[in-house]
Amino acid sequence: MLHSAPATAKAFTPEDVTKLYDAAKATKNRETLTDLILLGAYTGARIEELCQLQAQDIVTEEGIKCFYFYDGKTAASERHTPIHPAIQDTVERLIRDSKDGFLIESPAGNKYGNRSDALSKQFGRLKTSLNYNSQFVFHSFRKTVITQLQRADVPGILIASIVGHETGTVTFDVYSAGPSPKQKHDAISKLKYELKT
């Protein structure tokens, strides 16, 4: 079950993403959180969607390697999101090192089968230590991705297909098979951060 994020959540700037990533990387025993931040910043996926990803959910569609998200809140949540070139090596390492098929190691699921709880709390402590207030949550990465793509002149329909939102129009939500994997890959490749992975 996925939780809705507060509508008041604010987007991180690309500089914020670097700060959070570097802080997680510098903290002992936070490798999993560091990887999760990386995946969030380059996919715009919800934290639980990322924690549910398994090696078998990495699929190749029309020659493009993608994450296949299918356990979402709405029909539009089911989507193929191309793997950004910057995280290709990280994804391959996560697949290689996985002990249970999941890309992101989770201390344990809660009673609802939610795998992201402990990591969400870790992230909360990390961002609080960097003086981010309650308007900044993991879901803020989703807003960062959408904002960056919009500012890179990526069409709204393309952004919606990458992050799993409905467009609100029958033409695109009902009749279209959606943008091609290459269109989505070209769009997502416009996400840029100063990260030393």
CATH number at residue 49: 1.10.443.10
Tell whether 155 is covered by a domain.
yes
Tell whether 197 is covered by a domain.
no
Tell whether 44 is covered by a domain.
yes
Nearest to 45 by CA among 191, 194, 179, 178: 191
Tell whether 2 is covered by a domain.
no
- Rounded to the nearest integer, the mean pLDDT of the chain is 89
Residue 2 reports pLDDT greater than 50? no
Residue 4 reports pLDDT greater than 70? no
pTM, two decimals, is: 0.90
State the angle between helix axes of 140-151 and 31-43 in degrees (0 to 180), rounded to the nearest 10: 40
Q: What confidence score (pLDDT) does residue 33 get? A: 97
Tell whether 70 is covered by a domain.
yes
Look at the chain and report how many structural domains it folds into: 1
Q: What percent of the chain has pLDDT over 90?
A: 75
Q: Which one has a higher pLDDT value, 83 or 156?
A: 83
Q: What percent of the chain has pLDDT over 70?
A: 87
Tell whether 6 is covered by a domain.
no
Q: Which domain holds residue 142?
A: 14-188
Q: Answer whether 162's CB lies under 8 Å from 37's CB.
A: no
Tell whether 32 is covered by a domain.
yes
Tell whether 4 is covered by a domain.
no
pLDDT in tens, 7-58: 688 999 999 999 999 999 999 999 999 999 999 999 999 999 999 999 999 9
